[in-house]
Amino acid sequence: MDNLTHSLVGLAAAKAGLERWSPAATTLCVLAANAPDIDVLSVFGGRWASLHYHRGITHSIVGALALAILLPLIFYLVGLLVSRIRGNENRLKFRKLLLASLLVTATHPLMDWTNNYGLRPFLPWDGRWFYGDLVFIADPLIWLALAGATFLLTSRTWGQKTLWTLLWLVTSAGVILLPFRNPNIAIPLAVRVIWFIGLVSFIIARNTRIAERWGRAIPALALISIVIYWGALAALHARALQLAEAEASLLAVQNGEVLARVAAMPELGNPLKWRCVAETDRAVYRFDTSLGEINGNHAPLQRYPKPEGDAAILATRAAQDWRSKIFLDFARFPVARVEGDCMTEALVQFADIRFTEPGARGSFALEVRVECDTENGSGQGDR
């Protein structure tokens, strides 16, 4: 999930009661909720280091556990140092901070598992990816529930009010206005209406005594609502996957192919629309499904044939490139397109069809030039 969501989860957990366990617990909870994303530092190693290490060891059970222990230890030692400099008692409670850190850090890989980017929980022993396919990488309804709940309890000072105003303005602009600016973003009108009504409701509630009456029950209910929301999405995903499998089976029969696997993946802000990918022995298909219809008025069916003959030889050689190994280890549904032939040089375009198409630019696509042996027509090397 995005870091705004993780931060709101940490803040909600603190306001639901963890902040009472020790001084600095709120700050620790927000940091712990984001701690596994320390792997973002791999971006300084370049594009391929970032792709290789993101959602890696820090998102595994072992890595998350290590971070959950390290963070409160740092807090406690810093508190001890400051207390000695000031000549007073260290008020930080290490055991309580440790327990809070363990609880909140665990939410990070759990929430990341719910989307279709995936994570590798059993590193360093097992590098398999696992995907929940329930929630898009960012979800406006989760933002609304968590931000609204924590807003009611953390908007007392002018500084807090200013920060919340900026956050509401930025997120509202994204949810309500972005679909008008970018046709590829199709947040349904119903979701935008829910956002607007919810925002207005929280602002009105802020000027009542609801925060005083309900207190930490508000963020606790928000966190519970996320779990209930996941349950509803799981039911919708099961139905979408059923429809996708039926469509994929029909496509496989029509083209004389053998169906290998199917996935239904969430779309931004629309729990009724799912991006589906099906792989057969000869091709990869991508299509959209809405509950109750297949390939309605959404993106058309796309078929990406797997390379055959000389093209398959070239794609195999291109896959030996060090960048290709990183990319193909990450890609859930990789496709390859070969341009040119074995007369001089060929271009092999890889793409993870979850996110992009062959020939596109960015972290989810790759182009590898393969030199050819003009005498026997086979690939000879990569450049």
Three-class HEC string of 23-75: CCHHHHHHHHHHHHHHHHHHHHHCHHHHHHHCCCHHHCHHHHHHHHHHHHHHH
Which 3 state secondary structure label does DSSP give 206? helix
Note whether 296 and 310 are within 8 A (CB).
no
pLDDT (0 to 100) of residue 4 = 96
**Same domain, yes or no: 48 and 196:** yes
Rounded distance, CA 204 to CA 206, Å?
5
Q: What is the number of alpha carbons within 13 Å of residue 251 lying toward its C-beta?
A: 29
> What single-letter amino acid sits at 69?
I
What are 182-191's contacts with CB under 8 Å, separation 24+? Answer: 185/268, 186/267, 186/268, 186/269, 186/270, 186/273, 187/140, 187/268, 187/269, 187/270, 188/269, 188/270, 188/272, 191/140, 191/141, 191/269, 191/270
Q: What is the mean pLDDT of each run of 10 residues along the chain (383 residues)?
A: 96 96 95 95 88 92 97 94 87 95 97 94 94 94 96 92 94 82 75 92 90 91 96 96 94 94 92 93 93 56 92 90 93 91 79 90 88 52 39
Burial 47-86 (b: 16+ CB within 10 A, else e): ebebbbbbbbebbbeebbeebbeebbeebbeebeeeeeee
Distance of CA 322 to the CA centre of its chain: 25
Note whether 329 and 321 are within 8 A (CB).
no
**Same domain, yes or no: 39 and 145:** yes
**Helices (H) and strands (E) in the chain — how many of each?**
13, 9
Q: Residue 194 is part of which domain span?
A: 3-230
pLDDT (0 to 100) of residue 383 = 37
Distances (CA, A) of 222 to 21, 32, 142, 229, 370: 20, 19, 9, 10, 53
pLDDT (0 to 100) of residue 292 = 57
**Same domain, yes or no: 221 and 347:** no
Beta strands 378-382 and 283-290 are: unpaired
**Same domain, yes or no: 44 and 12:** yes
**Same domain, yes or no: 174 and 265:** no
pLDDT (0 to 100) of residue 162 = 94
**Same domain, yes or no: 150 and 256:** no
Note whether 354 and 338 are within 8 A (CB).
no
pLDDT (0 to 100) of residue 381 = 43
* Residue that finishes a domain, picked among 230, 263, 291: 230
Encoding tokens for residue 156?
């007392």
* Residue that finishes a domain, picked among 199, 230, 261: 230
**Same domain, yes or no: 300 and 353:** no
**Same domain, yes or no: 126 and 143:** yes
**Tally of structural domains, the chain:** 3
**Same domain, yes or no: 213 and 300:** no
**Same domain, yes or no: 162 and 188:** yes
Rounded distance, CA 204 to CA 201, Å?
5
**Same domain, yes or no: 14 and 133:** yes
**Same domain, yes or no: 98 and 187:** yes
Note whether 60 and 123 are within 8 A (CB).
yes
pTM: 0.90
Q: What is the number of alpha carbons within 13 Å of residue 27 lying toward its C-beta?
A: 9
Angle at which helix 217-254 crosses helix 3-15, to 10 degrees, equals 150
Rounded distance, CA 305 to CA 360, Å?
17
pLDDT (0 to 100) of residue 377 = 43
* Residue that finishes a domain, picked among 287, 304, 321: 304
